[in-house]
Amino acid sequence: MKKIATIIPLVFLSVFSFSSCKKEAGEGGNSSIYGSVTVRNYNSTFTDLLSEYPGADEDVYIIYGNDKSYSDKIKTNYLGIYEFKYLRPGNYKIYIYSKDSTLQSPSGIVPVVKEVEITDNDQEIKAPDITIFK
């Protein structure tokens, strides 16, 4: 009888804790975010556009909700298209690194960030197009 008395509160506590938790942005859902990357290739002073083409085989990063660093990374396909699948509703940041066209960054590289929100389950959200410089 003592075992049952200790198990029942644990069962109620477990059920209550799982039902009261709001799931954060991230994996585990059935929505996706997709988009495209375009590369603009300039000369070293960014005064002459040499070429423009789909950003094939580029690393694209995603940050789930308020995470401090990137949560996942994928590569674009040969057409410069990427897709993050199996996401839950929430706020996301998509980013990719680009040469700094202002020539102000000490490293010469800057992130290009796009914010995206999934508001419901089973959505396919198109992120704003991303243009990077090389």
pLDDT digits (tens, 9 = 90+) for 43-67: 999 999 999 999 999 999 999 999 9
Whether residue 104 lies inside any domain: the answer is: yes
User: What domain range is 34 assigned to?
Assistant: 23-133
Whether residue 63 lies inside any domain: the answer is: yes
Predicted model pTM: 0.81
Task: Say which CATH number the domain at 44 has.
Answer: 2.60.40.10
Number of domains in the chain: 1
Cβ-defined contacts of 82-86 (< 8 Å, 24+): 82/34, 82/35, 82/36, 82/37, 83/32, 83/33, 83/34, 84/32, 84/33, 84/34, 85/32, 86/27, 86/28, 86/29, 86/30, 86/31, 86/32
pLDDT tens profile 64-115? 999 999 999 999 999 999 999 999 999 999 999 999 999 999 999 999 999 9
Whether residue 33 lies inside any domain: the answer is: yes
